[in-house]
Structure 1
């Protein structure tokens, strides 16, 4: 049940309360006025009785005392009725207070249940999201592991070919160029499909461009070359050259010597 419904039902139950309270207070005031009037009359009769105590006959005295006693009894009845009305008024108000407390307790319990359900749903959603991310990370790790192993195998195979002699390519043919060739590294061009390829951070890089192996590559014949392998396009080669070939850096070093 919503807050508005609780409030609406409670206000409906209070609709007749002011009228009932006003009626009880009016009756209590009327009973109090009657009791006060009787007490004044009793005081007057008591004064007269005391003034004429020695003059009146015993029968007359007895009659006056009985009359005063009856007035006392009547005033006591008015007082008892007023007390009963006060108790009824208290119980009437207390009944509505108890109902209000009960409605508030039920409303708070409903709010707590909704909060618990919302928290449980949120927790389940978070757990499901965490599991999904964990599975996705595990899948990505497996893919990276497979790609890294494949790249490492290709690199090892290329190096084995280099040790056996000659130049190597990463996926096709190899070639050598005559010594003395120079290339401007600022004019290096790369195929668009190669630049768009995702790069494995674990895969080694080569050439002046510091990229992974692709296409036709040539090895520098200087055994101390720090780079070793170069892409054909990066060093200006289009066909398989003849003779020994040295990279631009090693060519400059040889000229200086």
Structure 2
């Protein structure tokens, strides 16, 4: 369907475009299944490499425990194990390359459909520079000036043409409005994100389970559980690392002050 067809029947264009996407989910799922298959093969190879490395360690221990005349025989086994490990590492590298290629192919499948839609919309934009303005305005202006009088039998044909123009304007305006709304939402989300207070060592916004510091002058106040290293919320008072250091220094200063006062009194 070329750009002239899109201008004349945007509804049919959308229907054909959606039909072209019917096989996309199954194609992406196929690539994902192939990636998962390579992942499973890689895990099996990693386990085998780990076992072979343990065997190599045992072999080295045996080498040190054996007499000199028997060590040469042990070294023959070492060469065999090292070759197996190297061969498995080469297979792991090949599997990683295949996973990357499969992921890139899946992305290309999606990009191909997006590029097609973007290309057609660009052509529509170039052929209709003022497509964002509703074309129905022209018909309203004609009625306002009384030009709609004495409509002949051509009224039905003109009505059909106006409906087609309305569909075209609606489709183009819909795409433009979606872009405007998305940009406004991104800007609004960015403003909301910057206005939220930052907590924790990581200086991020509050999310998930948080732990409050009981230090009076704590610069962070609240902490993410994963940043504190705690497995469960503390039952009693809890102080962050900085507040613990500050409290320790405060106790040392008080202790030194009491010591000086006692020496002065003596």
TM over 0.5: no
Q: Which one has a bigger Cα radius of gyration? A: 1
TM-score normalized by structure 1?
Answer: 0.43
